């Protein structure tokens, strides 16, 4: 919704809620600046009727009253537009407090904080604070990628998007046309699941590899959105978390702690190198490339070849 229209609707709602008697169209037009600039009476009447219908669709109860002079007046009685009291038990209040505290960045931080204040004003007890005794353990969801907010809105509104995406083994980004389904955070990184129109298949995209702006596209989704989108399970499989093989690596001493955490055995080789045996699955080559010169694949040969190919693609790009 455009800011001008949102402001106009807000002003109309405030006028209708703040009056003690029905206000005619003429009075409303003289009270709201946007209506004064509407031009002809026909333009104003069309704008007013649309705004009135929009407010009613949003839930505002607007009464139409005929006054003594035969004019039609409008008002929104406060008792007809008052929400029922918010009643929460201790577990519900704790869950809402937790949800509000998780988001620390991006657009959701302000909304979550404002929602928590409104709930407390409506009766959420201050003592129901799930992190007061454990403030050092307060969870946070980091959101550093500029692509997060537009993708979050696109997932919510079911809007196709286009963005430039650079794969791990590519030197340059390429345009991807995507119908976004869901966003999930896994191991500190955000991933988007959706339908890749160019490839005609479901794909996952790591937000940190999206370059430039995310642009919305008109039109509806062409593919059916699944009931369950297994983002974390798919990423875990691609990252080698679902392991069905074993690899032997040379790793520089003092480096590659995520690899060391997964290793089933570690042996010192001397000269600042260690030898690790590590279980892995599909996508391990893309992960190993991120460690650069600190890791060397000894075996199997196919994993070594995949890592070398990825490094060459980046070096020659």
Q: Is residue 221 part of a domain?
A: yes
Distances (CA, A) of 259 to 33, 81, 244, 308: 64, 59, 16, 18
Question: What pLDDT score does 314 carry?
Answer: 76
| Full domain range(s) for residue 292 | 245-315
Q: Is residue 198 part of a domain?
A: yes
> Are residues 302 and 278 located together in one domain of the fold?
yes
Asked if 303 and 247 count as a contact pair (C-beta separation under 8 A), the reply is: yes
Query: What is the spatial distance between Cα 50 and Cα 34, in angstroms, rounded to a whole number?
Result: 14
Q: Is residue 56 part of a domain?
A: yes
Residue 244 pLDDT level (bands cut at 50, 70, 90): confident
Distances (CA, A) of 245 to 236, 241, 260, 295, 309: 15, 11, 17, 18, 20
Model pTM above 0.75 = no
Q: Which of 211, 212, 294 is nearest to 259 (CA)?
A: 294
> Are residues 153 and 223 located together in one domain of the fold?
yes
Asked if 231 and 184 count as a contact pair (C-beta separation under 8 A), the reply is: yes
Last residue of a domain, one of 229, 254, 270: 229
Q: Is residue 130 part of a domain?
A: yes
> Are residues 128 and 194 located together in one domain of the fold?
no
pLDDT, one tens digit per residue, over 66-80 is 865 677 889 888 888
Residue given tokens 């800011």 in the structure block: 3
Asked if 244 and 281 count as a contact pair (C-beta separation under 8 A), the reply is: yes
One-character DSSP codes across 11-50: HHHHHHHH-SS-EEHHHHHHH-HHHHTS-SHHHHHHHHHH
pLDDT, one tens digit per residue, over 18-45 is 888 888 888 888 888 888 887 788 888 8
Question: What pLDDT score does 136 carry?
Answer: 46
- Supply the CATH number for residue 208's domain: 2.30.30
Structure tokens at 27: 């009075």
- Burial-class residue 84 by CB neighbours within 10 Å (0-12, 13-18, 19+): exposed
Question: What pLDDT score does 316 carry?
Answer: 76
pLDDT, one tens digit per residue, over 291-300 is 889 999 999 9
**Interior/surface letters 35-69, b for 16+ CB within 10 angstroms, e for the rest:** beebeeeeebeebbeebbebbeeeebebeeeeeee
User: What's the total number of domains in the chain?
Assistant: 4
Q: Is residue 142 part of a domain?
A: no
Higher pLDDT, 65 or 249: 249
Question: What pLDDT score does 130 carry?
Answer: 44
Indicate if the pLDDT at residue 282 is higher than 70: no
Percentage of the chain beyond pLDDT 90 is: 20
Residue range 134-160: average pLDDT?
A: 74
Residue 133 pLDDT level (bands cut at 50, 70, 90): very low
Q: Is residue 202 part of a domain?
A: yes
Higher pLDDT, 314 or 293: 293
Question: What pLDDT score does 141 carry?
Answer: 56
- Residues facing residue 215 across a β-bridge: 162
């Amino acid at each position: 919704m455009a800011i001008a229209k949102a402001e106009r609707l807000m002003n109309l709602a405030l006028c209708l809620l703040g009056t003690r008697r029905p206000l005619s169209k003429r009075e409303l037009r003289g009270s709201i600046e946007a209506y004064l600039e509407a031009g002809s009476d026909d333009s104003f009447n069309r704008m007013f009727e649309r705004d009135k219908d929009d407010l009613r669709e949003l839930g505002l109860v607007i009464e139409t009253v005929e006054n003594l002079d035969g004019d039609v007046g409008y008002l929104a009685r406060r008792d007809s537009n008052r929400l029922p009291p918010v009643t929460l038990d201790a577990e519900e209040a704790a869950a809402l407090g937790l949800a509000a505290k998780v988001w620390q960045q991006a657009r959701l931080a302000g909304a979550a904080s404002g929602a928590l204040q409104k709930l407390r004003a409506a009766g959420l007890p201050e003592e129901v604070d799930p992190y007061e005794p454990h403030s050092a353990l307060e969870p946070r969801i980091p959101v550093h990628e500029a692509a997060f907010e537009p993708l979050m809105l696109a997932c919510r509104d079911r809007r196709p998007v286009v963005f430039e995406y650079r794969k791990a083994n590519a030197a340059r980004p390429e345009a991807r046309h995507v119908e976004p389904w869901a966003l999930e955070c896994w191991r500190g990184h955000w991933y988007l699941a959706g339908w890749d129109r160019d490839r005609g298949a479901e794909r996952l995209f790591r937000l940190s590899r999206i370059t430039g702006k995310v642009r919305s596209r008109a039109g509806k989704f062409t593919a059916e959105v699944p009931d369950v989108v297994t983002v974390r399970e798919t990423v875990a499989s691609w990252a080698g978390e679902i392991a069905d093989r074993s690899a032997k690596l040379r790793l520089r001493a003092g480096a590659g702690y995520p690899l060391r955490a997964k290793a089933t055995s570690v042996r010192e080789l001397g000269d600042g190198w260690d030898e690790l045996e590590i279980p892995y699955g599909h996508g391990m080559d893309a992960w190993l490339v991120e460690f650069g010169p600190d890791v060397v694949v000894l075996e199997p040969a196919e994993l070594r070849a995949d890592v070398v190919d990825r490094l060459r693609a980046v070096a020659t790009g």
